């Protein structure tokens, strides 16, 4: 079933477009993401990031264009995509009323980790996170920084080839935010591709490559270093401001 | 019948208000818009197994001058919203004294509600009313009209006017935020409380929002604003860094940065992930945090020379090494002041 791709491209989009009536939310975007890459997907509110992400994660159909994620076609194999990828959002990631181990058990099951592997892998994960004492703690009583670490670990528990992170670090304290990015580095070092959106422009610097969407189109795509050179800017924040100012799609 | 009872109500309100104004004359002495002394608040959280006593705020004290733009900077769970709800008379503290424009938050809460504007982090608009209707409701609740104080909101409201017949629920995030700000301003408050107005908002809209705040400050409105974004700290006159219900520090952003107690270096190489591990394994290094394009490090006591560090990193296989002495950012300060970093 899985299409054999000759390259190490984990995600590709070709003229991917989404229209709602006469409004083009995502306007023919094309790009590729390679294995083990940390790819930052940036854009102002309303630029079309979420809509693009929904198409790439199999949650919404494209109006036109093509794409593959983890070797599956986004137009015809969205169910396989949902089973294969990892996904974590700031808003919803874990069940507050379940214990730490119960959350891991639940998501591992949903993502099809073989039952007999779940227990030993849970032990290993809790050890790595230094969470063994919290095994039976309800998720809602964990500090936010811990929750986010756990949510990320759960999202990659089944060792997906790609994980989508939708504003994973919103509101976290600075130290926890850094620990979180170190976990992302480690996952990428293991070969897991990371596709991440954020409103923290300094976090764009952690990415290998960054794309910036403006009014439904990808207006820039390169390494943070090259983007700063290209826009003659000191920081990614400046790059972002230069691009986003061009927006004509006023917040509405 | 209806009309007269409403009138009575208004009169009583005014009467109360006047007595309070007299109280103010005898007690108010300074240029303080707000003083908060030793405020603490605990919550009891019921879990299925036990009652957990959670401390939301511990011994919070600070003062805000008239016309100041004061920032409460801290992550989620630091206690920002609890503090704002106490300051705006919506929640009682367990202990401590708070005065806003000279009025006590417990005994003079009615007077305070007339004097302050409050924009909560979540829901403050009626989703099923239009932009114009929302603004009208807020104006009428405070016995004023849009026309009377239009000059205060004009700059912001102009951007909303094309959509004034649209329901609030159908506005984009940025527009909702602007409308909420207009609604908090329409009764001409002397003190404005903004609880995380920029959370989840993109950097461009955040910048616009701060420009609006600067214009309001120019009109002598005192503004208290909370935010989890450390980069917004430098836009405030003074800030309080809040973590786990405690204030870590209060000062101007410039002073906080200049009081950073360590020499801070930024280090980068061609292998950033490995570099961080390698740096932390050097015993002389006290802290190492990633800042994306470089890592920030401090030393325990005896500092290395940059050449020595470079040589060490080259030995570990790094190339394209760049080491610079840098000034601390608010985030560096925040992490240094956090109890974890001291432990």
* Chain A interface includes B75 (CB < 8 A): yes
Check CB contact of B174 with chain A, cutoff 8 Å: yes
The alpha carbon of residue A4 is apart from the nearest alpha carbon of chain B, in Å, by: 31
ipTM at complex level:
0.80
B69: in domain: yes
Minimal CA separation from B274 to chain A, in Å: 9
Inside any domain, residue B338: no
Q: Which residues are CB-contacts of A142 (< 8 A; sequence separation ≥ 6)?
A: A100, A134, A150
Q: What is the pLDDT of residue B47?
A: 60
Helix ranges (H only) for B53-170 are 80-87, 109-115, 131-141, 150-160
Q: Find out whether B72 and B225 touch, Cβ atoms under 8 Å.
A: yes
Which pLDDT belongs to residue B46? 65
For residue A250, the number of C-alpha atoms closer than 13 Å in the C-beta half-sphere is 7
Question: pLDDT at position A21, please?
Answer: 93
Domain termination site, one of B237, B257, B277: B257
pLDDT of B5 reads: 41
- Rounded mean pLDDT for each run of 10 residues along chain A, 252 residues in total: 63 97 95 96 89 94 96 94 89 88 95 94 93 92 87 95 90 87 92 92 90 95 95 93 81 46
Residue linked to tokens 């009309």? B3
B231 vs A contacts (CB less than 8 Å)? 202, 237
Strand A23-34 and strand A193-197: pairing? Answer: unpaired
Quote the radius of gyration of chain B (alpha carbons, Å). 24
pLDDT score, position A156: 95
The answer to whether B144 touches B114, Cβ cutoff 8 Å, is no
Same domain, B25 and B118: no
Q: Any CB–CB contact under 8 A between B10 and chain A?
A: no
Query: Chain A residues with CB inside 8 Å of B174's CB?
Result: 45-46, 251
The encoded tokens of residue A78 equal 């969205």
Given an 8 Å threshold on Cβ–Cβ distance, is A205 in contact with B243? no
- Residue carrying the six token digits 């983007």: A227
From A144, A186, A240, residue closest to B203, measured CB to CB: A240
> Where residue B308 sits, what CATH number does that domain have?
3.30.70.100
How many folded domains does chain B comprise?
Answer: 3
Domain check: are B21 and B51 in the same one? no
Q: Is B136 in the same domain as B278? A: no
Contacts of B257 (CB under 8 A, 6+ apart): B327, B328, B329, B330, B333
Q: Is the same domain home to B45 and B157? A: yes
Same domain, B283 and B155: no
Task: Decide if B336 is inside a domain.
Answer: no
Name residue, tokens 């799609």. A249
Q: Are residues B281 and B182 in the same domain?
A: no
Residue B204 φ/ψ, nearest 5 degrees:
-70, -45
Q: Domain of B282?
A: 261-326
Taking only the tens place, the pLDDT of each residue in A201-215 is 888 999 999 999 999
Structure confidence at residue B23 (pLDDT): 44
> Is B332 part of a structural domain of the chain?
no
- Judge: B76–A182 Cβ closer than 8 Å, yes or no: no
Query: Which H or E run contains B247?
Result: strand B246-251
How far apart are the CA of B202 and the nearest CA of chain A, in angstroms? 5
Residues of B in contact with A186 (CB under 8 A): 273
**The pair of three-digit structure tokens given for residue A17, joined into one six-digit string:** 């477009």
Interface test with B, best of A49, A172, A178, A191 (most B CBs within 10 A): A178
pLDDT per residue as tens digits for the range A107-164: 999 999 999 999 999 999 999 998 999 999 999 888 888 898 999 999 999 999 999 9
Give the C-alpha separation, B244 to B57, whole Å: 8
Q: Does B210 touch chain A (CB under 8 A)?
A: no
Q: Report CB contact under 8 Å: B174, A185.
A: no
Contacts of B255 (CB under 8 A, 6+ apart): none
Are B200 and B302 contained in the same domain? Answer: no
Q: Is residue B339 part of a domain?
A: no
Distance of CA A70 to the CA centre of its chain: 13
- Domain CATH code at residue B106: 3.40.50.300
Q: Are residues B165 and B270 in the same domain?
A: no
Q: Which residue among B75, B173, B290 sits closest to A181, beta carbon to beta carbon?
A: B290
Looking at the domain assignment, is residue B331 inside a domain?
A: no
**Do B55 and B121 lie in a common domain?**
yes
Taking an 8 Å cut-off on Cβ atoms, the answer to whether A45 and B205 are in contact is: yes
List strand residue ranges (DSSP E) for chain A, in order: 9-20, 23-34, 38-43, 64-69, 72-73, 86-89, 162-166, 193-197, 209-214, 217-222
Tell me, yes or no, whether B342 lies in a domain.
no
Same domain? B227 vs B309: no
Are B18 and B77 in a shared domain? Answer: no
Per-residue pLDDT of chain B (343 residues; tens, 9 = 90+): 344 443 333 333 444 444 444 444 444 456 899 999 999 999 887 665 666 778 899 999 999 999 999 999 999 889 999 999 999 999 999 999 999 999 999 999 999 999 999 999 876 899 999 999 999 999 999 999 999 999 989 988 998 899 999 999 988 777 888 899 999 999 999 999 999 998 878 888 888 899 999 999 998 999 999 999 998 999 999 999 999 999 999 999 999 999 999 999 999 999 888 999 999 999 999 999 999 889 999 999 777 899 999 999 999 999 999 999 999 999 999 999 998 765 4
pLDDT at A123: 95
Whether B248 maps to a domain, the answer reads yes
Q: Do A44 and B338 touch (CB under 8 A)?
A: no
Which residues in B lie closer than 8 A to residue A134 (C-beta atoms)?
A: none
- The last residue of one of the domains, among B208, B233, B257, is B257
Asked if residue B15 and residue B39 are part of one domain, the reply reads no
d(CA A71, CA A81): 9
The residue length of chain B stands at: 343
- CA A251, B128, B137: angle at the middle one, nearest 5? 95
């Amino acid at each position: 079933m899985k299409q054999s791709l000759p390259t190490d491209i984990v995600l590709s989009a070709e003229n991917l477009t989404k229209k709602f009536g006469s409004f083009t939310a995502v306007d023919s975007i094309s790009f590729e993401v390679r294995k083990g890459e940390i790819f930052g997907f940036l854009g102002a509110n309303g630029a079309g990031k979420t809509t693009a992400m929904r198409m790439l994660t199999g949650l919404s159909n494209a109006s036109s264009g093509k794409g593959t994620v983890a070797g599956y076609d986004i137009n015809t194999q969205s169910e396989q995509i949902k089973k294969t990828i990892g996904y974590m959002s700031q808003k919803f990631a874990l069940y507050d009323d379940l214990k730490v181990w119960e959350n891991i058990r639940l998501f591992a099951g949903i993502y099809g980790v073989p039952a007999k592997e779940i227990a030993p892998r849970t032990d290993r994960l809790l050890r790595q996170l230094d969470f063994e004492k919290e095994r039976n703690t309800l998720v809602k009583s964990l500090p936010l920084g811990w929750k986010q670490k756990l949510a990320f670990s759960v999202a990659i528990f089944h060792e997906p080839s790609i994980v989508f992170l939708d504003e994973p670090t919103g509101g976290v304290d600075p130290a926890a935010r850094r620990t979180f990015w170190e976990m992302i580095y480690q996952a990428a070092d293991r070969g897991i591709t990371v596709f991440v959106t954020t409103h923290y422009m300094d976090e764009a610097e952690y990415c290998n490559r960054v794309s910036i969407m403006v009014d439904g189109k990808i207006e820039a795509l390169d390494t943070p270093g090259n983007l700063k050179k290209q826009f003659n800017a000191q920081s990614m924040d400046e790059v972002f401001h230069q691009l986003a100012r061009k927006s004509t799609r006023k917040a509405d | 019948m209806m009309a007269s009872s409403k009138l009575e109500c208004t009169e009583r309100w005014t009467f109360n208000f006047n007595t309070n104004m007299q109280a103010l004359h005898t007690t108010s002495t300074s240029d303080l818009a707000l003083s908060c002394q030793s405020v603490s608040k605990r919550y009891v959280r019921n879990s299925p197994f036990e009652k957990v006593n959670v401390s939301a705020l511990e011994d919070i004290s600070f003062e805000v001058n008239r016309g100041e733009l004061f920032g409460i900077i801290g992550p989620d769970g630091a206690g920002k919203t609890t503090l704002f709800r106490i300051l705006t008379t919506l929640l009682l503290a367990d202990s401590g004294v708070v005065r806003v424009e000279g009025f006590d938050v417990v005994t003079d809460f009615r007077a305070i509600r007339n004097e302050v504007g409050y924009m909560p982090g979540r829901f403050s608009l009626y989703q099923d009313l239009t932009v114009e209707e929302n603004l009208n409701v807020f104006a009428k609740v405070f016995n004023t009209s849009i026309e009377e104080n239009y000059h205060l909101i004009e700059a912001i409201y102009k951007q909303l006017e094309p959509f004034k017949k649209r329901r609030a629920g159908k506005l984009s995030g940025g527009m909702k935020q602007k409308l909420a700000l207009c609604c908090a301003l329409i009764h001409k408050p002397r003190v404005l409380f903004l609880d995380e107005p920029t959370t989840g908002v993109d950097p461009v809209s955040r910048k616009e929002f701060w420009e609006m705040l600067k214009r309001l400050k120019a009109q002598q409105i005192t503004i208290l604003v909370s935010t989890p974004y450390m980069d917004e700290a430098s836009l405030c006159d003074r800030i309080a860094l809040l973590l786990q219900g405690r204030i870590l520090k209060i000062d101007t952003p410039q002073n906080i940065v200049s009081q950073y107690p360590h020499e801070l270096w930024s280090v980068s190489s061609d292998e950033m992930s490995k570099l961080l591990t390698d740096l932390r394994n050097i015993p002389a290094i006290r802290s190492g945090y990633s800042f994306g394009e470089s890592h920030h490090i401090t030393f325990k006591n005896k500092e290395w020379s940059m050449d020595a560090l470079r040589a060490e990193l080259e030995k570990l296989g790094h190339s394209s090494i760049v080491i610079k002495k840098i000034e601390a950012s608010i985030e560096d300060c925040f992490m240094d002041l956090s109890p974890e970093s001291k432990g």
